[in-house]
Amino acid sequence: MGQNNNSQEGFVLLGFSDKPQLETILFVVILVFYILNLVGNMTIILVSCLDLKLHTPMYFFISNLSFVDLSLTTCIAPQLLVTMGKKDKSMSYGACVVQLYVSMGLGSTECIILAVMAYDRYAAVCRPLHYAVIMHPRLCLSLAATAWLSGLATSLIQCSLTIELPMCGHNQLDHICCEVPVLIRLACVDTTFNEAELFVASVVFLVVPVSLILMSYGYITQAILRIKSASGRHKAFGTCSSHLVVVIIFYGTIIFMYLQPIKSRSKDQGKFVSLFYTVVTPLLNPLIYTLRNKDVKEALRKLIKKKK
């Protein structure tokens, strides 16, 4: 991109500038969601660290998920709010590249963390007597490290390939942020190789984790149906349903963005889908986990009482 003077010009982030009334409404909505996101995810991280009862593999992974969500929204929302709040929609080349690398790394990490959380739920429901042995602290740290390192690796590969593409002076991004599929669309050369690379990465980070999650939940469902008491079935299903809701929402939107041909994507649909998984979904995670979880509610009450 540097060959085309884009490094000096930067980019123009069009976003929703063709719909000024919608842009004003979205500015307020995104600002509110971002503030709630910060409060919600920071609360989950804080509660998980301070309450000894929550020092379990499940809450360790939930804390990792909250940190990813917090970072992902912070990578996208402030820059988006700045460009939406002014007439000049320009974004520096450096800011775009940082956003590109960070957002893809965090998104890929979240894909793996959600699959790891499904394995944790499988171990808890299907192998309850061996759960402590299976999910020992060293394994939990190894799984979390694998998620973070694999996210970083795919981001370095995909984003490095993308920023090498010549743009021939094209610097108008008809999107809400710098994302690989959007920048590939701007390139003025054949992008077949880049699209193939992105498709392979999408299969590895979307299709494979979703398949493992579905497999885990297949075994979990069988185990739950074998439980004789209705209260036991309800409790077992309750521990998994929150994670399943998060999985459906996150993967549903991100698969739409990354697993369809780049040229066939509707620009407006792509903007709303990106907005959903970078701003809305990260807020849904703490809401789902706190509103549906007695342990977190109890830990929050203890924290508030101590402060009082």
pLDDT at 84: 85
Residues of the chain with pLDDT under 50: 2-7
Structural domains of the chain, ranges and CATH numbers in brackets: 10-307 (1.20.1070.10)
183/175 Cα distance (integer angstroms):
10
**Residue 272, Cβ density class (10 Å: 0-12 exposed, 13-18 middle, ≥19 buried):** middle
Q: Give the pLDDT of residue 65.
A: 93
Q: What is the pLDDT of residues 172-186, one digit of tens each?
A: 888 888 988 888 888
Question: How high is the pLDDT of residue 1?
Answer: 53
Provide the mean pLDDT of the chain.
Answer: 84
Distance CA 130, CA 176 (A): 46
Cα–Cα distance, 79 to 81 (Å, whole number):
5
Q: Please check whether residue 173 is in contact with residue 12, taking contact to mean a CB–CB distance below 8 angstroms.
A: yes
Q: What is the pLDDT of residue 30?
A: 92
Q: Which residues, including other chains, have CB under 8 Å from residue 197's CB and lie 6 or more apart? A: 157, 158, 161
DSSP state of 165: S
pLDDT at 267: 65
- What tokens does 42 get? 């920071």
Structure tokens at 48: 């998980």
pLDDT of 102-131, one tens digit each?
A: 999 999 999 999 999 999 989 988 888 999
pLDDT at 2: 47
How much of the chain is in helix, strand and coil states, percent to nearest 5? Answer: 80, 0, 15
